[in-house]
């Protein structure tokens, strides 16, 4: 399925830094995280928790879609989505290869 450039342009994709994480009681595949977007922070759900500890993610620079509708998962409201390559259900977080300030728009 193809989308138009105008559809893609509606996505607000930004550089973010994971600033905190915590386990969600009773959940093994997701954790709660908070990302820094430069001018604000957002809480979100991070998948793939069976492959890493929450502490391993803190400080990582990631790419996030920031204008999706909020969604509640595991009792936690998620206000962004991290982009990742998916290999055998394991996420590999997309990032940038140099020091790009948090909040920088991806286009």
C-alpha to C-alpha distance for 51 and 72, rounded to whole angstroms? 22
Give 4's pLDDT tier (boundaries 50, 70, 90): very high
Q: Among 12, 86, 74, which residue's Cα sits nearest to residue 43? A: 74
Query: Tens digits of per-residue pLDDT, 34-54?
Result: 999 999 999 999 999 999 999
How does residue 97 score in pLDDT terms, banded at 50, 70 and 90?
A: confident
> What band does 69 get if pLDDT is binned at 50, 70 and 90?
very high
């Amino acid at each position: 399925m193809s989308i138009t450039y105008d559809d893609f342009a509606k996505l607000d994709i930004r550089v973010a830094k994971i600033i905190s994480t915590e386990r969600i009681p009773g959940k093994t595949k997701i954790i709660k995280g908070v990302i820094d977007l430069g001018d604000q922070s957002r809480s979100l759900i991070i998948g793939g928790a069976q492959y890493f500890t929450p502490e391993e993610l803190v400080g990582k620079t990631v790419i996030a879609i920031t204008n999706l509708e909020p969604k509640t998962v595991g009792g936690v409201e998620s206000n962004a989505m991290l982009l990742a390559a998916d290999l055998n259900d394991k996420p590999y977080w997309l990032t940038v290869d140099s020091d790009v300030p948090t909040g920088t728009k991806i286009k």
